[in-house]
Structure 1
């Protein structure tokens, strides 16, 4: 498994800068989606699979292992939940939800206008 560790070269960057490792991680299929789904709730593997629109068990298992290894997720007796580090990352990401809704409205309005 090729986990993007901060301080090590990652996909697209040889510098080892932590922000590049974070962007590599968040750019992986469903990594951010898993973090998003665990906002203020603990989910079992099956619940997380359903919340992530039927992600394959193999991919979900891989992402969980990566997120646990990088201290963003932990397994509890009730399922998976964000660690304090994962919660602080989610706090940075949550404002993207309302922003993306505004962005959709702007793009939709622009694309409904006739082009000149």
Structure 2
């Protein structure tokens, strides 16, 4: 069954999901960040069927997230490394992991990001670059960007606020106002 492509949708989330939204792709990226380079390393670490791995690696290379490089000619062997585009996905994966630890690990965090030299826990958050305020539901809206079509600019003439802040968030946000 052919899946629907989101590549032409006028939404950056849809376009990102089109490239990396399949579960195996995210796990391949996780392993690439952990140092996997060769097909056999990905296959062993993930327990992924070879045909699926071949497709995922090819797709990630095709969209410029990984690059494939030959490191041996006889027999032919390739390695895969993150591109700049791929490396910029690290915060996304770390935030996804933080969300998973909070909501899907009832016994406590499973794997946590740490500072490599000290082992001190790192707690990734998404913040606004200009104000350093955390980005939370109810505290951000969407507006049309410079690449938006006329139709999208019209529909986003006034910013669309994204979700009101749930009560649970305001009671667990260590006293900070989720609307700020």
With the length of structure 2 as denominator, give the TM-score of the two structures.
Answer: 0.47
Deviation of 1:71 (Å): 0.4
Are residue 44 (structure 1) and residue 50 (structure 2) matched? Answer: no
Are residue 27 (structure 1) and residue 21 (structure 2) matched? Answer: yes
Which protein has the bigger helix share?
Answer: 1
Partner of 1:79: 79
When residues 103 and 43 of structure 1 are mapped into structure 2, their CA distance, relative to the original with a 3 A threshold, is: same
CA distance in 1, matches of 2:99, 2:3: 32
Query: Which structure has the higher relative contact order (CA within 8 Å, separation 6+)?
Result: 1
Query: Based on CA coordinates, which of the two structures has the bigger radius of gyration?
Result: 2
When residues 21 and 59 of structure 1 are mapped into structure 2, their CA distance, relative to the original with a 3 A threshold, is: same
CA distance in 2, matches of 1:3, 1:104: 28
List gaps (5 residues or longer) in structure 2.
72-77, 109-180
With the length of structure 1 as denominator, give the TM-score of the two structures.
Answer: 0.69
CA distance in 2, matches of 1:19, 1:91: 15
Deviation of 1:23 (Å): 1.5
CA distance in 1, matches of 2:5, 2:52: 16
Are residue 58 (structure 1) and residue 60 (structure 2) matched? Answer: no
Q: Tell me, yes or no, if the aligned pair for 2:28 and 2:42 is still in contact at 8 Å.
A: yes
Range that drifts further, 82-91 or 71-80: 71-80
Q: Tell me, yes or no, if the aligned pair for 2:6 and 2:17 is still in contact at 8 Å.
A: no
